[in-house]
Amino acid sequence: MARTALISDLHLGAVSGWDLLRRPAVLGELTSALREVDELVLLGDALELRERPLHQVIALARPVIEEIDRAMAGRRVTVVAGNHDHQAVAPLIERARTEGTALTPETLGEPAPWLAAMFRVSDVRAAYPGVWVRDDVYATHGHYLDVHNTVPTFERMAIGALQRFTERVPSGHARPDDYEAAVAPVYSFLHSLAQTSHVVRADRSSRVWQAIAETNGHRHLLATRVVIPAVVGALNRTGIGPLSPDLTGAALRDSALHAMNATIDAMGIAADHVVFGHTHRSGPHERDAPWGRLVNTGSWVLEKAFLGDEPQESPYFPGHVVIVPDEGPPELRRVLLELDR
């Protein structure tokens, strides 16, 4: 029986050091799980290309990628880029531009040479912005959802600001190229900044969420009821929105699901099931309201700001894999059962 495994948001090379697959014990849990699959899809943000120069990221990520490559020897690995490793599929996008052809929801090609060189014994290919895992299962990193998201992340605000000066993504019907026009300039700028700066910069949105999570008492009340609504209101008046000041866990989840559905509908993806990553929140879980056709892979990064007092119960707990069998719905599986405190 053919089985495809999908994992997302490894963020190998992250400055924080919380990209857990660089830890041998965690990597061993993943490679053990890969023994039973026929194909692996790295569903975006496998590499963290926004915080260090490329040569440093390659050096840090290579041992992990090579171990995954050995685990998948003789089988296919499909690399789908996300917003943090958009340059991993640069040759594929450049070929489409050179040939004057439009990106399709599944444009196939080769990954960047420096990434392809890490795969020696598996059959590696690139797909962007997504890949059909099965006739009724589509998978994409999910970064296009930022165009529709109402959560005021750094990236969402940057995209909103850019679209004040360029054409907005058409509502109702949009091509991958329409989304690329909105997001790619932001990705290129952040990647270039990492290559030329002597000071590494951790992801800005993560730092903001960490600060909010660590705020308590009257300061938290002031931030959530006064400061954040005021800032969001000002951003909406400038035309960057629509953004919402509601930053509760339920609001973050619901906004992402709504935005992902809007993206899939706009691109005309006729799939019974859609697997995505990007938000670092795995799901759906038993305690979640129904997600419809959506399944999220979660991440392999320790998200301390979101784990709360019971990390094992948090949907942000790292180490999930989505398994797509040859028939039936995708299955979300937790591979990493515990963490060494």
Kindly state whether residue 140 falls inside one of the protein's structural domains. yes
Q: Is residue 221 predicted with pLDDT exceeding 50?
A: no
**How does residue 159 score in pLDDT terms, banded at 50, 70 and 90?**
confident
Strand 123-134 and strand 106-109: pairing?
A: antiparallel
Longest C-alpha distance within the chain, in Å? 58
Kindly state whether residue 40 falls inside one of the protein's structural domains. yes
d(CA 177, CA 189): 18
d(CA 14, CA 56): 10
d(CA 42, CA 62): 15
- DSSP annotation of 47 reads B
**How does residue 142 score in pLDDT terms, banded at 50, 70 and 90?**
very high
pTM recorded for the entire structure: 0.89
Q: How many domains does the chain have?
A: 1
| DSSP E strands, 135-223 | 137-140
Kindly state whether residue 212 falls inside one of the protein's structural domains. no
Kindly state whether residue 260 falls inside one of the protein's structural domains. no
**How does residue 61 score in pLDDT terms, banded at 50, 70 and 90?**
very high
Structure tokens at 170: 């058409």
Kindly state whether residue 219 falls inside one of the protein's structural domains. no
Kindly state whether residue 241 falls inside one of the protein's structural domains. no
d(CA 84, CA 51): 9
Kindly state whether residue 91 falls inside one of the protein's structural domains. yes
Of residues 163 and 186, the one with the higher pLDDT is 186
Kindly state whether residue 234 falls inside one of the protein's structural domains. no
Range of the domain at 287: 4-149+270-334
Summarize pLDDT for 272-303 with one digit per residue, the tens.
Answer: 999 999 999 999 999 999 999 999 999 999 98
- Which SS3 state, helix, strand or coil, does residue 286 take? coil
Residue 129 belongs to domain with CATH number: 3.60.21
Instruction: Name the residue among 77, 112, 91, 83 with its Cα closest to residue 11.
Output: 83
Which range, of 67-71, 87-91, 188-192, averages the lowest pLDDT?
Answer: 188-192
